[in-house]
Amino acid sequence: MLSVSNEVGRLRKVLVHEPGPEVDNMLPSMMEELLFDDILYGDRAREEHGRIRRVFQLLGIEVLDAEDLLEEVLRERAGRAWVLDAVLPPGATELRDRLAEAPAEELASALVGGVRLPAEPGRGHTAADLFAVPPLPNWCFQRDPQIVVGSGVVFGSMASAARRRETVLARAVFRFHPDFAAAPTWHDPMDAGFERSHVGGTGAAFLEGGDVLVISSDVLAVGLSERSNKLGVLDLAEALAGREDAPRFLVVVELPRRRAYMHLDTVFSPVDRESALVYPPVILPGGAERAQVHEIDLKSRSLEWSPRKDLLSCLARRGAGFEPIPCGGDDPIAQQREQWTDGANALALAPGVITMYDRNQGTMDELARRGFRVVDAKDLLLGRDEADLGSGERVCISLQSNELSRARGGPHCLTHPLVRDR
């Protein structure tokens, strides 16, 4: 069952992926294509990710790892055949035969962690030289390959070729896993019925999950960014248009084309029913890099892009008013530094109960001024402090982030909600 109609309702079930051998196999030369700022120390990244998962479990949230789900899909002949057909290039007969006979656990690990080529004298040192199947270090960012909207799913279309296998694996999970196979697909860019943007030489459509926020059952906010383009948004609008069970409005936020603002959730994330973390220069009226905002009525015939003054006033018109809480507080230096380290990329576990990286001290100080009690995740896990998702208290749980933050994604990026309360 899938059910996500907002960004802050109590989180019941969440999809994650622990960074595995794929981050250990990542080469420095792959950083630019994979959009990392550094190669990760895998053991420390796993330690930090494990702490996040244990916090979720302690608070009663069911945690599913995408690789475990993929492994279950690969135990069945139909799922295994579909994945191998979709992932492997034509002519890779020997590799396909080898992988087709592998145990499900080993095959899942290979599809995510990569398959090394045999060592040979004089072989080069690029990823193409070393891997028959390259690793997927970005798969820990489960926000991007799919987007759960209501009771259904939208599949992403990644801007970077190095990430496109992630969407194939996501499709396998939601198409073949018994827990999700019955969920409707609202939009799949690989489906021939949604290929409008790929005919007539108009280019490729890109849409990534970090650019899509489920504001309410009636409103989706979508970023036009480095990773999601206008064709991707047009395809999404056309796929959802006129559906009785789909949102009514698509609010399009055109971000400045800067690496720091790679997705909408890096500059805006709701943290309570009527509060959201924002990066002021991009989100607030009068900001030096204020995003252009348009609204699309998905029930209209024309799907016209109607200009709006700014994101917050547009959302307020549709019954979703948010008090802005500045990432980094009021200091413009802290705002820039902490936006870069995912200070505006918090994940709400319940209304007013959020998680964020501990390095964003200015943001946490600002949250404390707004009534949030800041709790160290280690203290929570050791029983030295406590939090309750149903108490109504505002709490910010700070997460150690020395290694994970190098990968350029915060708690919102690392997770994908599957079930939230309304």
At residue 306's C-alpha, the angle toward residues 300 and 310, to 5°, is 135
Residues sharing a CB contact under 8 Å with residue 400, sequence separation 6 or more, in sequence order = 48, 51, 358, 377, 378
CA of 47: how far to CAs of 96, 138, 356, in Å? 34, 17, 16
413 is known as an active-site residue = yes
The label of the residue with tokens 């991007």 reads 144
Contact in structure between 7 and 373 (CB atoms under 8 Å): no
What is the rounded distance in angstroms from the CA atom of residue 99 to the CA atom of residue 106?
A: 9
Distance of CA 90 to the CA centre of its chain: 30
Question: How many whole angstroms separate alpha carbon 42 and alpha carbon 46?
Answer: 6
Interatomic CA distance for residues 162 and 378, integer angstroms = 35
> What Å distances lie between residue 93 and 88, 96, 128, CA to CA?
9, 5, 18
Task: Please compute, for residue 72, the number of CA atoms within 13 A of its CA located in the half-sphere on the CB side.
Answer: 15
DSSP classification of residue 372: P
If DSSP codes are grouped into helix, strand and coil, which group holds residue 293? strand
Kindly give the pairing relationship between strand 146-149 and strand 115-116.
unpaired
Q: Report the number of secondary-structure helices (H) and strands (E) in the chain.
A: 16, 20
Active-site positions read 413
